[in-house]
Structure 1
Amino acid sequence: MLVRRSLAAVLSVGALFLAGCAGDDLANDDTADSPESSAAADQGSVTIAGQNFPEATLVASMYEQLLENGGYTVEVKLVDSRDAYMPTFPDSVDVVPEYVGGIVNFLNTQKGGADAKPFEAGDGEQLASDGADLLEGAGITLLDVSPATDANAFFVTKEYSEAEGVTKLSDLEGKSVTLAAAPDCEGRLDCEGGLSDEYGIDVTEVLPLGYASDQTYQSVLKGESELGETSTTDGTLESQGLVILEDDKHIQPAQNLVPAVGADFLAEHPDVEDILNPLMTALTTENLTELNGRIAVDREKPEDVAADFLSQEGLL
């Protein structure tokens, strides 16, 4: 990480030196280094890809607004699952709002197959370090790891929890359940695979209704499924009469938010690091949960919530 930042600093200094040689008028212009002039500069285009669930949409909008403010022309492509965008990253995708455990273990499974031992570090920085070789081999660089973390979680209705005496996932051992979850859940060690193999839960069927989607909530509320997949920062559960079950066997690796950037793209655009890293510092698990609630419960638009947060934090 230190080597990458040093290179970025050298490139930035070089860029300033060349700008200074371009003409005395620019060098003597007091507004040349102002935020307004920086934002107006044409930095080229950037493609953001990510998953299409509320939190990912929110964070992608934050990236989009910050990069546009930094002078980039931004295209955003949101899809159903990581499987859909990773084959194009980093070849035709430049930046992805990611989760440390998610991307590291995706690359690990891609290289070692479905039976590859997952990376399980509970600390985001450590997990990023553990996956450094995989990331480098894929041509991907992780920027600063945020303290905000959002792991997969599984919920039931309060009624089911109380009636069955279920408060943690191990309480479901030996029970047969239908699971409403993301389309790529089946077999994943942090989803159906872990529930079956580590917890001994008899998952009779996985309904691909989406990650933290209305369809998944409704499936559980209506009794079609006993168990649903969401996130630990889901701000809607209490208002719906739903409760998260404790992951007491810790099948979820650290899932700190982190910008994943194509290594070649970052070498050509080192300023992206300075644009996105302050956001990672500003985000916390607590404020992320609150922002998610504004979208899911209060029905505010993700782009409006993103703009409000960025403005309050002094990032725009």
Structure 2
Amino acid sequence: MNNKLVRRLSFGLVVPLALLAAGCGSSSDDKSSGKDLGSVTIVGQKFPEADIMAELYKGLLDHAGFNASVKELGGRDLYLDPLQKGTVQVSTDYLSSMTEALNRKANGDDAKVVASHDAAATLLELTQLANKYGMTPLKPAQAQDANAFAVTKKFADENNLKTLSDLAALGKSIKLGAAPDCDKRPDCKIGLEKTYGLKISSVVPTGFGTDETKADLKSGATQLGQVGTSDGTLASAGLVLLEDDKGLQNAENLVPIANTAWLKGHQEAVAALNSLSEVLTTDDLAAMITQVSVGREKAADVADAYLKAKGLI
């Protein structure tokens, strides 16, 4: 994991009002309260990272006095309406992706993109959009699962590569292993060419962060591969991330989204969920994903161990 991608973020200028309430309580108060705060349902999406995040939220909310459960609903197109209506109360979400989903909902499919690599500015946009639809974003974590690009460590060492700009400066024609829609995406081939001046000779549709994408990199069939910043398997595969030094990728910090009407009567959830955002890093997330995806541990067990290790429960 390229630690340069893990930046400490400041949200002090754009914190929603709900966040301010978090400072009024503490996890120790919740631990001793013995309250019965009623039931809360968290959206589940059925992939390792989402499973882990849902179990982290569940553990925190249970500890605070809620009776939390996870309901598997699938992707955002399936859970956005229930979250807005309050059928489910909390989602594990991504800062820019949720911002743009609500932006398109409010302004149409051709809406001008308002999310960016600036996490604080994107949080402000998300807060304004979410308020229109009865939802409230809480505090984003430092941890994020953003689109990223990897090369083999050998290739990086041989060419002294740290950043995507370094790669572009080589002036070499590059084959890119990526998702099938990479050709059309401003954060993939289009952006790599326009923002960095990379010479992409072809996009090989091996997928986002797949074993095939990594295998092609290692074999030399491709020189660059599309992966996620929270992929904890890169180092063991002999791969390294190149820093997005020109901010092509939008900020995709993990952020809890709550139904506003429910949250008004359950402010204890703010402190509980924000306590995780205070400590969760991309490296932490990557390690937990590796435990589940490679070590075949249960997401609930991994989440419980992490929360205890951080003193959150």
How far apart are 1:304 and its partner, in Å?
Answer: 1.8
1:68-79 correspondence to structure 2 within 5 Å: 68-69=62-63, 70-77=65-72, 79=74
The answer as to 2:295 corresponding to 1:301 is no
Aligned residues: 288
1:39-50 correspondence to structure 2 within 5 Å: 41=36, 43-50=38-45
For the residues of structure 2 that align with 1:290 and 1:74, how far apart are their CA atoms?
24
1:116 counterpart residue number: 112
For the residues of structure 1 that align with 2:182 and 2:32, how far apart are their CA atoms?
44
What code does the residue aligned with 1:306 have? A
> The residue matched to 1:97 in structure 2 has which SS?
strand
> The residue matched to 1:233 in structure 2 has which SS?
coil
> The residue matched to 1:247 in structure 2 has which SS?
coil
Distance 1:87 1:161, change over 3 A: farther
Give the counterpart of 1:99 among 91, 94, 100.
94
Residue by residue over 1:99-147, the C-alpha shift from the partner in whole angstroms, topping out at 9 and shown as x without a partner, is 222322333345353462443252x333212333222223321112223
1:168-207 correspondence to structure 2 within 5 Å: 168-170=163-165, 171-172=167-168, 175-181=173-179, 187-201=184-198, 202=200, 204-205=202-203, 207=205
What code does the residue aligned with 2:69 have? V
1:241-256 correspondence to structure 2 within 5 Å: 241-256=238-253
TM-score (norm 2): 0.73
2:276 counterpart residue number: 279
Is 2:148–2:227's contact at 8 Å kept on the other side of the alignment?
Answer: yes
1:157 counterpart residue number: 152
How far apart are 1:283 and its partner, in Å?
Answer: 1.6
Give the counterpart of 1:60 among 54, 59, 69.
54
Is 1:295–1:301's contact at 8 Å kept on the other side of the alignment?
Answer: yes
What code does the residue aligned with 2:70 have? E
TM-score (norm 1): 0.72
For the residues of structure 1 that align with 2:157 and 2:214, how far apart are their CA atoms?
18
2:308 counterpart residue number: 311
For the residues of structure 2 that align with 1:94 and 1:185, how far apart are their CA atoms?
33
What code does the residue aligned with 1:308 have? A
For the residues of structure 1 that align with 2:225 and 2:77, how far apart are their CA atoms?
20
Is 2:115–2:122's contact at 8 Å kept on the other side of the alignment?
Answer: yes
> The residue matched to 1:129 in structure 2 has which SS?
helix
Taking only the aligned residue pairs, the percentage that are identical comes to 32
How far apart are 1:249 and its partner, in Å?
Answer: 2.0
1:238 counterpart residue number: 235
Distance 1:163 1:314, change over 3 A: closer
The structure with the larger Rg is 1
Q: Which runs of 5+ in 2 are unaligned?
A: 1-14
Please provide the CA RMSD for this pair: 3.7
Distance 1:215 1:205, change over 3 A: same
Q: Which runs of 5+ in 1 are unaligned?
A: 13-32
For the residues of structure 2 that align with 1:129 and 1:42, how far apart are their CA atoms?
29
How far apart are 1:238 and its partner, in Å?
Answer: 1.4
Distance 1:130 1:42, change over 3 A: closer
Distance 1:313 1:246, change over 3 A: closer
- Greater RCO between the two (CA within 8 Å, min separation 6)? 2
Distance 1:302 1:73, change over 3 A: closer
Distance 1:138 1:292, change over 3 A: same
What code does the residue aligned with 2:280 have? L
2:126 counterpart residue number: 131
Residue by residue over 1:140-192, the C-alpha shift from the partner in whole angstroms, topping out at 9 and shown as x without a partner, is 211122233443211122345467776533435773534333x7766443344
How far apart are 1:241 and its partner, in Å?
Answer: 0.9
